[in-house]
Amino acid sequence: MIEGGHRSEALYAHALRMLELGHPSGAVEPLRELLASEPEHADAHALLALVLRDLRRVHAAAYEAEQAVALAPLEAFPHRALGLVRLAQRQLAAADEHLTQALALAPDDASNHVALAALRQFQGRIADARALLEEGLEREPEYLDLHVALGELALDAGAHAEAARWADEALERAPDHRAALVLKGSVLLRRGEVAEAREHALWALRQRADDPGALYLLAGVKARESLTLGLWWRWNVWMTELGQTRSIVLLLASYVAYRILTLALEDLALPWLATVADVVWLALCAYTWIGPARFRRALEKELRGVELDDEF
């Protein structure tokens, strides 16, 4: 029989193993058992917070992360956990505070660079996100999540070759790395290699059936193949690669060009053409509104087979 600290170590190791196997729900019970005997185990609270966040139990995750920080305010892991939970809650100021604190407490831990870079990317501070990841790579070059995060930044910028290089480097070292598989699949999808992209999504889903990135990729594959959603998918990808600022400028310029065209047609005594332009513009607007809703429904369809137990 395992007793005391050895039992706690075994339970914690079992929870970590469940996460490595892509089974976060299987990590909940050992962590609950550990905390029942050692309620002041800060790392167990922090790890449970991240597990619950992955299981979309964000409020419960926030409670566990707050407990972790209260128990170990000078340790990086509790702050990183609470920062990531706050990011999931879209509490960006609090997320910034805790993720910055985590990096300050453990600057050599590359996972802190990845976490803070995720926040910077969400804030649209892409250059800062890249700088954080590159700094982390200098400190811990074998940490594959850094490779994937840099690849995702490259993909969003439309640098498909660079994104593929980061994915390939990660997969050479760990062929079953789920995030790297999803990244490579996303590159393949944007290149139009749909069958290969589907294979990468399914490969990732074999490791974890509810992996959000893999499900999103699989929904993207189906959208890319759809006659009605394919055009929207290409438009959405193009706008993403343009970046937020240029996308806004393009949309404003398009509207101004449309208004100039309709006014010119009316001045030329061609009201019927102006009406056609109005109809085309409204149809395009409606299509861009309907497309995201249909894509969300496609994603929800992929999720139906992997509903999670809400009880905790």
Our count of domains for the chain comes to 1
**DSSP letter for each residue of 46-110:** HHHHHHHHHTT-HHHHHHHHHHHHHH-TT-HHHHHHHHHHHHHTT-HHHHHHHHHHHHHH-TT-H
User: Is 233 contained in some domain?
Assistant: yes
Is the residue at 188 inside a domain? no
The larger pLDDT score, comparing residue 309 to residue 301, is at: 301
pLDDT band at 235 (very low <50, low <70, confident <90, very high): low
Q: Which tokens in the block code for residue 120?
A: 């910077």
Residue 118, domain CATH = 1.25.40.10
Task: Reply yes or no on whether the pLDDT at 305 is more than 50.
Answer: no
258 vs 21, 232, 271, 288, 290, CA distance in Å? Answer: 53, 20, 14, 16, 21
Assign 229 a pLDDT band (cuts: 50, 70, 90): low
pTM comes to 0.73
User: Across residues 145-171, what is the average pLDDT?
Assistant: 95
pLDDT of residue 59: 96
Does some domain include residue 182?
Answer: no
By C-alpha distance, which of 44, 40, 41 is closest to 15? 44
pLDDT, residue 119, reads 97
What domain range includes position 147?
A: 4-164+226-306
Q: How many other C-beta atoms lie within 10 A of the C-beta of residue 153? A: 20
Q: Evaluate whether residue 27 is within a structural domain.
A: yes
| 207 is a domain residue | no
Q: Is the pLDDT of residue 147 over 60?
A: yes
Answer yes or no: is 178 within a domain. no
pLDDT per residue over 46-76, tens digit each? 999 999 999 989 999 999 999 999 999 999 9
**Are 66 and 34 within 8 A, CB to CB?**
no
Is residue 304 scored above 70 in pLDDT?
A: no
Query: Considering the domain boundaries, does residue 134 fall inside one?
Result: yes
Q: Which residue has tokens 């800060």?
A: 42
Residue 169 falls inside a structural domain: no
* Tokens (6 digits) for 312: 């905790």
Q: Which residue has the higher pLDDT, 26 or 230?
A: 26
Tell me, what amino acid is at 59? H
